[in-house]
């Protein structure tokens, strides 16, 4: 009930003008028309798309890491338990730490100065050209371990005699990984792909709120942050609901497209 | 789960070893990556034990004195003590409520036969796919209408509702793996559905319960967006929201801020280290099936 009722409510209110207090006023598709021409919404979506650049990295690199751990390279026990650590910290903690370390007079710039690299000193969060890559990097770092564990789980379910047979036939490790192991991981690949895409579009709020607070200006807005702004700073609840509905439709469309592509390859 | 365990046991470690001509560059890269996970912990600890004067002088460094001053400043002056208590209450209630509901629902969906069982199960699963951000606005309004805004109840019910679908899914999958013969045998011996549940299924599902507990602890303790929206007065704020107040608008007491962040992180890190194996198991169950 706590989830089903609000879901119906958000769809209804996306067609209204509403400040959250006075009764909502029906305006039809007006909100969606405004949204279509809203430059700030486009900018937010573009930033979401930039964060979605993390998806290919999250699909490939954790696969390699998981395979190393799966095949028990020296130290694999230690790697298996620490690789998830970044995902254990609260996003808020990581966000505040990032903002602290990257301040103009913060630890990173000081360290750069003391090793003679003062030319690299920079106001890291002062412009979108550096702060967006920073947030992207933090995003990859925190979610990395989760993907490794997913791949590990998938690999442990593969019949080990397959790998053994390929090895006896003279296949090298990369051949085994890409021709024997990966084709058996299709359901895990699907999960990794879809979950990381959804994360880039719909779970960015805490990073943005704590690292840049959307700034400078509105340069690091993401759609979720924009909803929050419209709803709770500008009291445009109806408009915020419309952004939410649009965003979810976009995410669903991408997710369905990804799964369709993956399942078509199978046939 | 059992298949995974037997597979792992059947393959001797010797055979699974990677044969690669130059593994060391890969291992070194992996080592750097894993150690980076410890960096935040080191930085927070080192800075929390330094004094404000140390910080003013240099941003990076080791503590020169040993005192818990900054922890005391964070705990009492900045209310972190209260936020810590709130986080414990919210996380505790969420975990208990979610695990109890998910276990009962999982039993109902897997072992009891009733009309619409399949349909209701699918309906519950649908909600896994809905991103919570969509519900930001209506949930806020709903909580205002229910008079729950600014109470523990708001976030506890919300967290439970948001997490239940996934938990129900895991518990149902687990109970389905329990052989029906076991239940049948108990029924022949005259046990009712309640007795079967409490005497047979619950004791069997300890590992699955541990998985649910660690998942929900991590999630509820670290949740930020809804805590920010729902909890507005200092007496009910949880740590993730409260710790933001240690960031001053003009000057920030960095050692105290780091102490606050450390207090926020340590409980979940400890919980993770204790329940590690169960977390991996839960991910196995979620990913493979």
What ipTM was predicted for this assembly? 0.84
- pLDDT (0 to 100) of residue B249: 63
- pLDDT (0 to 100) of residue B27: 84
Structure tokens at A261: 């592509």
CA distance B127 to A245: 15
For residue A190, what is the nearest residue in chain B, using CA coordinates? B287
Contact residues on chain B for A96, CB-CB shorter than 8 A: 243-244, 247, 257, 261
CATH says B79-288 is which class?
A: mainly alpha
Contact residues on chain A for B10, CB-CB shorter than 8 A: 160
Question: Where do you find CATH 1.10.3720.10 in chain B?
Answer: 79-288
- pLDDT (0 to 100) of residue B90: 95
> Cα torsion for A112, A115, A116, A117, to the nearest 10°?
-30
CB A78 within 8 A of CB B34: yes
CA distance A193 to A56: 8
Q: What's the domain range around A37?
A: 25-266
For residue B26, what is the nearest residue in chain A, using CA coordinates? A68
Contact residues on chain A for B272, CB-CB shorter than 8 A: 84-85, 88
- pLDDT (0 to 100) of residue B14: 45
Residue A25 main-chain phi, psi, to 5 deg: -110, 125
Burial class (CB in 10 A: 0-12, 13-18, 19+), A91: buried
Task: Give A129→chain B minimum CA distance, Å.
Answer: 24
- pLDDT (0 to 100) of residue B166: 85
CA distances A58 to A39, A44, A81, A135, A146, Å, are 30, 22, 19, 15, 10
CB A51 within 8 A of CB A204: yes
- pLDDT (0 to 100) of residue B6: 41
CA distance A83 to A142: 10
Which parts of chain A have pLDDT scores under 50? 267
- pLDDT (0 to 100) of residue A50: 92
Burial class (CB in 10 A: 0-12, 13-18, 19+), B288: middle
Asked whether the beta carbons of residue B221 and residue A90 sit closer than 8 angstroms, the reply is: yes
Asked whether the beta carbons of residue B131 and residue A251 sit closer than 8 angstroms, the reply is: yes
Say if A227 falls within a structural domain.
Answer: yes
DSSP bridge pairs for A26: A16
CA distance B208 to B173: 10
Q: B10 and chain A: CB distance < 8 Å anywhere?
A: yes
Tell me how far apart the terminal alpha carbons of chain A are, to the nearest angstrom: 40
Say if A94 falls within a structural domain.
Answer: yes
Task: Give A161→chain B minimum CA distance, Å.
Answer: 8
Task: Give A164→chain B minimum CA distance, Å.
Answer: 8
Mean pLDDT, rounded, of chain B: 82
pTM here?
A: 0.85
Count the domains in chain A: 1
- The runs of H, that is alpha helices, within chain B are 2-10, 13-16, 24-36, 39-48, 52-57, 69-72, 80-111, 117-126, 136-146, 152-176, 180-188, 193-196, 202-204, 206-222, 225-230, 239-242, 254-288
Best residue in A1, A2, A13, A235 for a mutation probing chain B (most B CBs within 10 Å): A2
Structure tokens at A104: 């103009």
Work out how many CB contacts closer than 8 A connect A with B. Answer: 233
- Is B85 in a helix, a strand, or coil? helix
Task: Give B139→chain A minimum CA distance, Å.
Answer: 6
Task: Give B152→chain A minimum CA distance, Å.
Answer: 15
Best residue in A92, A203, A229 for a mutation probing chain B (most B CBs within 10 Å): A92
For residue A197, what is the nearest residue in chain B, using CA coordinates? B131
Structure tokens at A213: 């607070």
| CATH code assigned at A126 | 1.10.3720.10
Residue A215 main-chain phi, psi, to 5 deg: -85, 180
Q: What is the pLDDT of residues A157-197, one digit of tens each?
A: 788 888 888 888 877 778 888 888 888 888 888 888 888 98
Say if A116 falls within a structural domain.
Answer: yes
* Cα dihedral B7, B11, B13, B16 sign: negative
For residue B281, what is the nearest residue in chain A, using CA coordinates? A153
CB A120 within 8 A of CB A109: no
CA distances B268 to A93, A114, A119, A204, B271, Å, are 12, 35, 39, 21, 5
- pLDDT of B92 above 60: yes
């Amino acid at each position: 009930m706590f989830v089903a009722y609000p879901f119906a409510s958000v769809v209804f209110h996306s067609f209204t003008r509403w400040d959250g207090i006075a009764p909502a006023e029906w305006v039809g598709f007006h909100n969606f028309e405004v949204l279509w021409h809203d430059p700030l919404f486009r900018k937010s979506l573009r930033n979401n798309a930039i964060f979605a650049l993390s998806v290919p990295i999250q699909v490939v690199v954790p696969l390699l890491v998981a395979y190393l751990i799966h095949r028990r390279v020296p130290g694999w026990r230690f790697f298996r338990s620490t690789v998830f650590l970044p995902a254990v910290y609260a996003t808020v903690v990581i966000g505040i730490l990032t903002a602290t370390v990257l301040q103009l007079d913060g630890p990173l710039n000081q360290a750069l100065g003391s090793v003679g690299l003062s030319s690299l000193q920079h106001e890291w969060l002062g412009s979108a050209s550096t702060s967006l890559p920073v947030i992207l990097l933090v995003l990859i770092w925190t979610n990395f371990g989760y993907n490794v564990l997913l791949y590990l789980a998938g690999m442990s379910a593969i019949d080990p005699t397959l790998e053994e047979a390929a090895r006896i036939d003279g296949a090298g490790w990369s051949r085994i990984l890409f021709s024997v192991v990966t084709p058996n991981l299709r359901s895990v690949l699907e999960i990794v792909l879809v979950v990381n895409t959804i994360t880039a579009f719909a779970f960015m709020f805490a990073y943005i709120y704590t690292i840049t607070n959307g700034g400078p200006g509105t340069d690091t807005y993401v759609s979720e942050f924009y909803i929050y702004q419209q709803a709770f700073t500008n009291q445009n609840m109806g408009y915020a609901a419309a952004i939410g509905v649009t965003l979810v439709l976009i995410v669903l469309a991408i997710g369905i497209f990804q799964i369709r592509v993956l399942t078509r390859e199978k046939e | 789960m059992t298949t995974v365990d037997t597979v792992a046991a059947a393959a001797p470690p010797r055979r699974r070893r990677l044969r690669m001509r130059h593994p060391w560059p890969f291992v070194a890269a992996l080592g750097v990556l894993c150690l980076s996970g410890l960096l935040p912990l080191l930085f927070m600890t080192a800075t929390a034990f330094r004094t404000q004067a140390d910080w003013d002088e240099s941003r990076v460094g080791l503590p020169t004195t040993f005192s818990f001053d900054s922890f005391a400043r964070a705990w009492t002056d900045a209310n972190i003590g209260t936020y810590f208590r709130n986080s414990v209450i919210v996380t505790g209630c969420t975990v208990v409520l979610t695990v109890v509901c998910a276990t009962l629902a999982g039993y109902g969906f897997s072992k009891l036969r009733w009309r619409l069982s399949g349909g209701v199960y699918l309906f519950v699963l649908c909600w896994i796919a809905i991103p919570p951000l969509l519900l930001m606005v209506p949930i806020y309004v709903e909580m205002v209408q229910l008079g729950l805004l600014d109470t523990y109840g708001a976030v506890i019910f919300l967290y439970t509702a948001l997490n239940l679908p996934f938990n129900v899914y895991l518990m149902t999958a687990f109970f389905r793996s329990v052989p029906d013969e076991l239940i049948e045998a108990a029924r022949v011996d005259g046990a009712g559905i309640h007795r079967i549940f409490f005497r047979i299924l619950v004791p069997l599902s300890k590992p699955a319960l541990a998985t649910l507990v660690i998942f929900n602890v991590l999630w509820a303790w670290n949740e930020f967006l809804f805590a920010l929206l729902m909890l507005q007065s200092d007496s009910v704020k949880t740590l993730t929201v409260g710790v933001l107040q240690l960031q001053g608008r003009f000057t920030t007491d960095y050692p105290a801020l780091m102490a606050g962040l450390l207090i926020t992180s340590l409980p979940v890190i400890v919980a993770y280290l204790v329940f590690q194996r169960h977390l991996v198991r839960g991910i196995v169950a979620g990913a493979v099936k």
